[in-house]
């Protein structure tokens, strides 16, 4: 049985649904992992996988990368979410025409042989002008994927069809 190790229940629930469609069952291991400070999600995930003494394990590091802010908050997404939050991001983008952003997910998987594999998923979109919707978590109320009108938080079914997490997990 594969375990998804994350302290974020929403992430687990999304992954469980997505993988079920591929007939892969997972279990939740509700623990965080040690995050090194780094410029890339890949380095964070690689270091974390090495520090975990378990096989058949999935971990994930994700972030929101905003073009007009040179990729900020990126690898600092959690800290920024916990400090200035969505309203703070909206303030930083006040009077900004370029609202392009992408969510990136990097999944690390240690298989039954102890081999470490990385998978990346990206969804492009834009930052809304105000928070909208109550579903999902984190930056979902301010992220509108390309080709849609709604934020991820307004339509969790749409999020699970298009998300960075879904793409990385399908890889």
CB of 113 to ligand IMP, least distance (A): 26
Cα–Cα distance between 157 and 151 in angstroms, integer?
11
Distance CA 87, CA 78 (A): 14
Using CB under 6 A, list all residues that contact ligand IMP. 8, 60-63, 77-78, 81, 136-140, 163, 165
* Residue 60 or 155 having the CB closest to ligand IMP: 60
DSSP 73: B
**Smallest separation (angstroms) from ligand IMP to the CB of 55:** 22
Place of tokens 């997490």: 165
Q: To the nearest whole angstrom, how small is the minimum distance from the Cβ of residue 82 to ligand IMP?
A: 7
Gap between the Cα atoms of 155 and 68, Å rounded: 26
CB under 8 Å to 33, separation ≥6 — which residues? 5, 48, 51, 52, 59
Structure tokens given for 149: 């009108």
Q: Which is nearer to ligand IMP, 83 or 114 (CB)?
A: 83
User: Residue with the closest Cβ to ligand IMP?
Assistant: 138
CA dihedral 169, 160, 93, 42 (to 10 degrees): -10
Q: 81 or 126: whose CB is closer to ligand IMP?
A: 81
Q: State in angstroms the smallest separation of the CB of 141 from ligand IMP.
A: 8
Tell me whether residue 2 or residue 15 sits nearer to ligand IMP (CB atom): 15
Task: Give dist(CA 169, CA 64) in Å, integer.
Answer: 17
Active site residues: 61
């Amino acid at each position: 049985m594969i375990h998804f190790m994350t302290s974020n229940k929403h992430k687990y629930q999304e992954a469980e649904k997505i993988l079920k469609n591929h007939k892969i069952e997972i279990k939740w291991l509700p623990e965080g992992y040690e995050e090194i400070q780094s410029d890339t999600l890949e380095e964070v995930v690689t270091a974390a996988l090495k520090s975990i003494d378990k096989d058949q394990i999935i971990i994930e590091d994700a972030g929101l990368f905003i073009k007009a802010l040179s990729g900020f908050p990126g690898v600092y997404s959690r800290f920024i979410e916990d400090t200035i939050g969505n309203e703070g991001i909206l303030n930083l983008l006040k009077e900004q025409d370029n609202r392009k952003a992408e969510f990136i997910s990097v999944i690390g998987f240690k298989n039954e042989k102890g081999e470490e594999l990385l998978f990346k998923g990206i969804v492009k979109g834009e930052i809304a002008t105000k928070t909208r919707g109550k579903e999902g978590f984190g930056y979902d109320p301010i992220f509108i994927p390309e080709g849609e009108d709604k934020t991820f938080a307004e339509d969790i079914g749409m999020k699970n069809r298009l998300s960075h997490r879904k793409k990385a997990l399908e890889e």
